[in-house]
Amino acid sequence: MAAQGRKNVHGKAGVRFKAGYTKSKHENKLRTLATDLIIHERVTVTSGMVKELKSLTDHLITLAKRGDLHAIRQAAAVVRNVKASEDTSALDKLFKELGKRYESRNGGYTRALKAGNRKGDNAQVCIVELVK
């Protein structure tokens, strides 16, 4: 029988019943980062998230360039319902501003720049931004 008492501590019984970092948590983090990138046009993330974030954001901008109802619904399934300013949401900004801005550009809407290491845990940090 396992030891009773404190949970999630190392010792005779080990770590029991600790919540893991699941796929759904990872996808939700990507959705939030993509929404922040649409709103602020610049986000600082660790190097492990850069590739997936760029891929997702480029796909969302491609949907915004299409601009039909199906593309709006596909993007709405990913982008969070957050206000970009007082009168526009993140989805409105994606379709009205970014879709028009990148209409003549074929891909490559985002850029990643290395920004050194984070002070707390020495993780490599990158700045992901939308290309002007």
Residue whose pair of structure tokens reads 């969302």 in the numeric block? 60
Structure-block tokens of residue 75: 């993007």
> 18-43 burial, b for 16+ CB within 10 Å, e for fewer?
eeeeeeeeeeeebeebbbbbbbebeb
> 4 falls in which pLDDT band (50, 70, 90)?
low
pTM of the model: 0.84
Any bridge partners for residue 89, and if so which? 83
pLDDT in tens, 10-65: 766 666 666 778 999 999 999 999 999 999 999 999 999 999 999 999 999 999 99
CATH code for the domain defined by 23-130 = 3.90.1030.10
Q: Looking at the DSSP assignment, which residues form a beta bridge with residue 125?
A: 46
The answer for residues whose C-beta is within 8 angstroms of residue 24's C-beta and 6 or more apart is: none
